[in-house]
């Protein structure tokens, strides 16, 4: 795909048959962006579901994330190659550094450069970061340039709006990817959001997703 899709199917906490069925059902409903991670322990099942779906690879946008154990220069690319084997694909559309983990002994410059090497090898079409605050994002930009960072995937909900970080990313031209946007389902019972939804003849989920899209793309 030429750009990051507006909506995607996350697989956090999904295991075994549950993740296979979730990905299969999502693809049948029209989802084309699938998000997984090394630490989720479900890349093989995601790959199985994608392979069985019959959806062409070039119609999909597959994201995975490098876990902190694999940040060292000699570990990152081999770990991504193992992820690709599990996902049954020659490349992923986006690879993220999952957590900044400043205390794990690997300098930020090292793992960002290793991530850029993975892209140069053709293992990932795009690269980015996840859960980076403003200061750490600045350091990532210094390491490989803001043009190289496709997105920062961050928790974003009406209860955790991260407005300063969002505004900073927008100024830098870095895409904002939101996760936990429904706040673990809490927004569905929120009376204020419910009233807004009723006024617009929509569901609370539709209202919150529309809010997040507006916040992330304005």
For residue 2, tell me if it sits in a domain.
no
- Sheet containing 61-66: which strands, arranged edge to edge? 9-10, 33-35, 61-66, 94-97, 127-130, 149-155, 175-179
pTM of the model: 0.95
The pLDDT of residue 3: 81
The pLDDT of residue 211: 93
Find the Cα–Cα–Cα–Cα dihedral 159, 165, 166, 172, rounded to 10°: -170
Domain coverage including residue 196? 186-218
Task: Answer whether residue 2 shows pLDDT above 80.
Answer: no
What b/e string do you get for 84-95 counting C-beta neighbours within 10 Å, with b at 16 or more? Answer: bebbebebbbbb
The average pLDDT across 159-187 equals 95
Q: Are 139 and 170 found together in one domain?
A: yes
The average pLDDT across 28-39 equals 97
Q: Are 160 and 213 found together in one domain?
A: no
Q: Are 138 and 192 found together in one domain?
A: no
The average pLDDT across 157-168 equals 94
Q: Indicate which CATH number applies to the domain containing 38.
A: 3.20.20.100
For residue 125, tell me if it sits in a domain.
yes
- Distance, CA of 77 to CA of 52 (rounded, Å): 27
Q: Are 77 and 137 found together in one domain?
A: yes
40 given a catalytic annotation: yes
Total domains in the chain come to 2
Q: Are 21 and 89 found together in one domain?
A: yes
71-99 pLDDT, tens per residue? 999 999 999 999 999 999 999 999 999 99
The pLDDT of residue 214: 85
The pLDDT of residue 6: 87
175-179/149-155 β-pairing = parallel
Cα-based angle 37, 40, 44 (whole degrees, multiple of 5) = 80
């Amino acid at each position: 795909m030429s750009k990051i899709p507006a909506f995607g199917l996350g697989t956090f906490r999904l295991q075994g048959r549950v993740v296979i069925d979730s990905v299969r059902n999502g693809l049948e409903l029209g989802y084309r962006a699938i998000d997984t991670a090394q630490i989720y322990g479900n890349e093989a099942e995601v790959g199985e579901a994608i392979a069985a779906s019959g959806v062409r690879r070039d119609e999909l946008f597959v994201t995975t994330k490098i876990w902190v154990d694999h940040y060292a220069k000699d570990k990152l690319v081999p770990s991504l190659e193992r992820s690709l084997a599990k996902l049954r694909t020659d490349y992923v559309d986006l690879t993220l550094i999952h957590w900044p983990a400043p205390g794990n002994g690997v300098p930020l410059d090292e793992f960002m450069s290793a991530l850029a090497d993975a892209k140069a090898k053709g293992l990932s079409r795009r690269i980015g970061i996840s859960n980076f605050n403003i200061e750490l994002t600045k350091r990532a930009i210094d390491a490989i340039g803001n043009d190289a960072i496709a997105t920062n995937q961050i928790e974003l909900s009406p209860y955790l709006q991260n407005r300063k970080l969002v505004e900073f990313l927008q100024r830098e031209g870095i895409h904002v990817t939101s996760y936990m946007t429904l706040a673990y389902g809490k927004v569905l019972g929120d009376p204020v959001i419910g009233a807004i939804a009723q006024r617009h003849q929509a569901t609370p989920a539709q209202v919150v997703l529309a809010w997040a899209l507006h916040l992330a793309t304005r």
